[in-house]
Amino acid sequence: MRWTELPPWFRFAIYAIFLTILVLLLGSYALALDRQLGWTLPQTLSWLGLLLFIGGAILAGWCVWLFLTAGQGTPAPFDPPRKFVVRGPYLYVRNPMMLGGLTGITGAALYLSSPAILLTAIGLFIAVNIFILLWEEPDLERRFGEAYRQYKAAVPRWIPRVPK
Note the pLDDT tens digit of each residue in 55-97.
999 999 999 999 988 998 888 888 889 899 999 999 999 999 9
pTM, full prediction: 0.86
Decide if pLDDT at 99 tops 70.
Answer: yes
Q: Which residue has the higher pLDDT, 150 or 6?
A: 150
Best CATH choice for the domain 3-154 from the list 1.10.10, 1.20.120, 3.40.50, 2.30.30 = 1.20.120
Decide if pLDDT at 135 tops 70.
Answer: yes
What was the pLDDT predicted at 163? 63
pLDDT in tens, 2-28: 777 778 788 888 888 888 888 888 888
Residue 49's nearest CA partner among 118, 106, 99 is 106
Domain ranges of the chain: 3-154
What was the pLDDT predicted at 2? 79
Decide if pLDDT at 140 tops 90.
Answer: yes
What was the pLDDT predicted at 116? 92
